[in-house]
Structure 1
Amino acid sequence: MRYRLFIVLLAGLIACSTTTSLPTPSPTAAVVRPTPDIPLLPAPLYVLDRGQIARIERDGATRRQLTRERIEYAGIPPISDMDIHPTAGMVYVVGAAAGDRLVRTDLDGNNPQIIYEEAGHQLSAVRWSPDGALIYLRFQNNREIRDLPDGLYRIAASGGALELVLADDPVDNPTNPSRSVRRYYPFLWDSTGNTLIVESSATFYDDCELVFWQAQRQELRRPTLPEDMQSLCGEAFWLSDGNAALFLIGPPTGPGIWQVDVQTLQAQPRTADGVLARAPFLKGDDLLFVAVDRVNDGFTFTLTRQSPDGALTRLRPPFRETPLLIRWAPDGSGIAAVVQTARGTALRWYPIGDLPAVELPQTENGVSWLIWGSIPDRS
């Protein structure tokens, strides 16, 4: 996994003009350490750290390493991509000298099974289908004699052959390729399994947008956006019925949150003009997001609620560290975020309310990906 798409997003925010969505905030509260054996998080948090998958338990202090894949190249993490499913388990990609391995385990990392491995085949961006029957992924062919085209593929959870879903666009002009030549990465399924949000990335330019791929139609559909507006990759959220999704959309000066209809492909703004936003999430009828505000010496990031009438409410004190990855808790009670600090990166829990942020455990290498597990059944 990588921060590239988020860095592109942040570059757009840094270039933006001053906004006045909320008053200038006070300094962020101090960061504290979690207390072992006392519940803190609403669910366990799975992280990719130093090329291995670990789980941070609900106390926020206990960290269990779930995989122990062998490092083949010094300095190169063995596991590059991962995903989890509540019943199907974990799936991840191991980089190997001969060819990448696609491995499936249970949620504790037990019973690893190699479900795909071929020389010269590079795999990434693995995503479970909602029913856990299929795994979608990005495929790149590094063989001298290519047997499969690059693109978006799927494979049965039990293993077998790769099935092409969407081939990358052919190069239109080898000496001067156009921006319209794209390659495709699976990103986020709706809960019904009808529509997949796909990251459409320009092959030869630093340009990425979100599009829909509908399973029944077997076709790619691009949202209709106003002139000079573009969707940004890296963050999105599905409405519960799967009929629309929330995207980050905006001009080069920075995005707001827009709702895009899957059928009509029309996009409507959910946040007001001038509100810069990250990480959309819905909790009931309320829109939650991280508001980005310019202050005299940089930027602040504030967990924010927008009510149906458009009123904005600050949900906790702002923080100054730039978030590279943001994941709302499944119940909307806060965010887990990888943030940039003066010494590198840190993994933190920012709960809604006035409590300070909590430092979560990670190695000196730092977390490169994170996924929430399921909230435990308390019945």
Structure 2
Amino acid sequence: MELKRVVVTGLGAITPLGNDVASTWDALLKGVSGAGPITLFDASEFKTQFACEVKNFDPLKYFSAKEVRKLDRYTQFALAATQESMADSGLDLEKVNKDRAGVIFSAGIGGISTFEQEVGNYAVAPEKGPRFSPFFIPKMIADIAAGQISMVYGFRGPNFGIVSACASSTHALIDAYNYIRLGKADLIVSGGAEAAITVSGVGGFNAMHALSTRNDSPETASRPFSASRDGFVMGEGSACLILEELEHALARGAKIYAEVVGGGMSADAYHLTATHPEGLGAKLVMQNALDDAHMAPEEIDYINVHGTSTPVGDKSEAKAILEVFGDHAYNLNISSTKSMTGHLLGATGALEALICVKTIDESIVPPTINHAEGDDDPEIDSKLNFTFNHAQKREVNAALSNTFGFGGHNASIIVKKFTK
């Protein structure tokens, strides 16, 4: 069976750096941090009092007041990012075979704010009995963004969400890629969304000692690969990519940003939350992606790393890159854009895949910010080019994005410059 080729024809994003792709990309290249004090709830008693929140997001710009009441914040982000990506793709819905158009859209946690609100309402007045909104469950569940998107556009093809913690939306993109290249769909809307900057979200991660507690300097708190890193900064938002079968895209004269050429998956099989200290799962997943793409390590120009700014995770990922790429590792540009966006959990893979697409389209690599002179980690090879503090212009023909999730879930995806 001859596999189909899969291309990216539309991009959309709602992020802590901007409410569309253009403003997000501009901020990334300028090295802007999206971090600041938490405004979504009173965090004054929490160990971590800051995050990378989406700013100036008005759901009434996208939905009616009635619709807003039925949509958790994470689903609002998903629908807004999808709206931008659909407009960007130029798809004419009257000409799309909707039986062959699907939606695979993920979240790592889903509607946690809805859960808090509904359970909180009951806790405040238990004497009134269990009074819950009929929208409680369909607002909360982690697959509902995929369902909502399919209903908006009438897409009746493959439709589901994947939950694999922070690897969720990379897994979603890989599944979308596989369905299309196997001929099961002509196009799939794919990505991820998350909105977990809540009392229980921040409190839970604080209890695990996963978050940075640098409350005196939120903007510099996320400092991947630096010796002084002390945990990740939580982010929120959504990213959406339109994946399309090549001939379908060419037939309608679509703009093609890049081609998806490979996806890898693996498990650490090691620990609930920590990556394997030797980077075994990270090494395997990158090699699996290269094998799937039939590419040599030397063909990759840029890696958008998982790079969350945790002490163990960054070190093990750098070690894995050296093992997979050998001497070519020193020719790579490597960056952790989480240093600016924060960690979008289940949405992070889609956003970082989108960033990889943009590096190919624009021939420039965004930086890893917040690295200070003298803050090199002696256990991380300082000869690796982490693109510290300033964007670097270079032609990017192929880029790889890594995402690793609690539970040991690993996913990597490769995109490359499109040529006929």
Higher relative contact order (CA 8 A, sep 6+): 2
**TM-score range, shorter-chain basis?**
0.3 to 0.5
Output the TM-score relative to the length of structure 2.
0.31
Higher helix share: 2
Output the TM-score relative to the length of structure 1.
0.33
Higher strand share: 1
